[in-house]
Each structure stands twice: as structure tokens, then as C-alpha cells.
Amino acid sequence: MASATALDFYNYKPLDKKGEEYDLNQLKGKVVLIVNVASKCGLTPQYEGLEQLYAKYKDEGLVVLGFPCNQFGGQAPGTSEDQASFCTLTYGVKFPMLGKIDVNGDKAHPLYEYFLPSPSLFFIMVFYIHFVGVCVLIGLGWYRWLKKEKPGILGMKRIKWNFEKFLVSRDGKVVDRWAPTTSPSSLASKIEEELKKTSSLPPPPTATEEAAPVPAPSGSL
């Protein structure tokens, strides 16, 4: 399998809250903020700040995508629609809430987990653990899309907790990653910076263009 490119982002089709495919190709040319969310977390009030970002910048091209995830303390119980209803009723969320996913482990969604099976792509990361003063070697073979594109501290790729945030540019490249405790309001300057940039990608086809008949070859009956 070839390594990921910016266009890989638009090839993914996660499920929405109703279990239907949500085609990321429709987001070409947009700046996208991706967040794994939960309804019973101490960080859940961040929904308010995320919605404020969406309301302020959506007309300039920002899309916020919320992915409920129940992997951290079981703090996103119920169905995908339960999670969407909660954030809408409690925080007035209007940005797209998609289906529940895993973000770590063997069942992690491909958007978060992009597998590169070639042994030649394994690498050894050496880092020093300050507490015990030992050197730990970790062989990493599971790279996946968001985490591969923008590793966290010391190169670690695992999602740490609910409300970790990734920012994807108008060209489909992951340009920043923030810790769960980073407040949504502190993201504004980076979002504004990306919104000022133009996309080099062709826009997605409109519904009219998709429905247009293909002209018959010249000379055909």
C-alpha cells in the first residue's frame, strides 16, 4: 500500500449518525476541524466553544466534524443519534455529528488509523522517560491517516482522550493537532490563517454536474 497523500483524506467515507456514508469528497476546498467527542466527559463543555467556532467561520469555509467515541472511560454511551441529540439539545450544536467510531486499536476507523504493512516502514523511536531515567524503544508499524500525518508529543500517534483536535487544510493536509485540554477558542488564529489560503484542488462536482448525461461519442447513432 502506498503511503498517504493529501488526497487520501477525501477518499474516506465515514458513517454519519444515521449509518449512511458521509462522503468527505464534498469537503474539498474547506478547512476541516475533526474532533473525537463524548457526552459525559469533563471536557464535554468544549462543545460550546466548537459550535462558536463553526458559527463564526462556517461562511468562510470552516467545517467542524464531531466523531463520538466511547473508548475513553465509556463516556459516549448510547447510539450515534443519542450523542448527536445530546449535543444539539444541550449545547445547540449545528455542525455535522457523525457516527460513533474507535480512534485507537485494531478497530480504529481508517480516517484515524492508516495501516502501512511494509516492514521497511517500521521505525524505532527512542525517547527518554524522565521519571525513571530509562530509555524505551518502541517499534511502530501501525501508522494511520490523521495520526500519521500529525503525530503528537514525542511522535506518539495514539489519541490521548476525548476532544483531541486535528485541523485539515483546504488541500486535505493535516496542518495542526491539539491536545484534549486545548480550548476551542485558542484555535481561532490558526483556523483564520488556514481560511485565508486558497485551495489548489478542483472543487467537488455539484449535484447538477453529477447528474448531467455524458455526451455520446461523435459519429455514434
Q: Model confidence at 202, in pLDDT bands (50, 70, 90)?
A: confident
Residue 211 placed within a domain: no
Mean of per-residue pLDDT scores for the chain:
77
- Determine, yes or no, domain membership for 219: no
Tell me, yes or no, whether 97 lies in a domain.
yes
- Does the pLDDT value for residue 4 go beyond 70? no
Residue 220 located in a structural domain: no
Q: How far apart are CA 7 and CA 71, in angstroms?
A: 28
209 confidence band (pLDDT: 50, 70, 90): low
- Structural domain includes residue 21: yes
The total domain count for the chain is 1
**pTM given for the model:** 0.73
Residue 64 has pLDDT above 50, yes or no: yes
Report the distance separating Cα 159 and Cα 72, nearest Å.
10
Residue 131's pLDDT is what? 39
- Expressed as residue numbers, the domain containing 12 is 8-115+160-201
* 138 or 197: which leads in pLDDT: 197
The answer to the question of residue 47 being in a domain is: yes
Residue 75 in this model has a pLDDT that exceeds 80: yes
Query: Would you place residue 199 in the very low, low, confident or very high pLDDT band (cuts 50, 70, 90)?
Result: confident
pLDDT range class, residue 111, cuts 50, 70, 90: confident
Q: How would residue 9 be classed by pLDDT, with cut points 50, 70 and 90?
A: confident
**3-state DSSP assignment of residue 83:** helix
Which residue numbers are catalytic?
41
CATH number, domain of 18, equals: 3.40.30.10
Residue 49 lies inside a defined structural domain of this protein:
yes
Closest-CA residue to 25 (of 33, 13, 35): 13
Q: 139 or 12: whose pLDDT is higher?
A: 12
Average confidence (pLDDT) over 138-167: 59
Q: For the stretch 36-46, what's the b/e string if a residue is b when 16 or more beta carbons lie within 10 angstroms of its beta carbon?
A: bbbbebebbeb
Determine, yes or no, domain membership for 154: no
Percent of the chain with pLDDT over 70: 68
Give the residue with greater pLDDT, 194 vs 111: 194
Whether 140 shows a pLDDT value over 60: the answer reads no
pLDDT of residue 217: 56
Q: What whole-number distance in Å separates Cα of residue 66 and Cα of residue 72?
A: 15
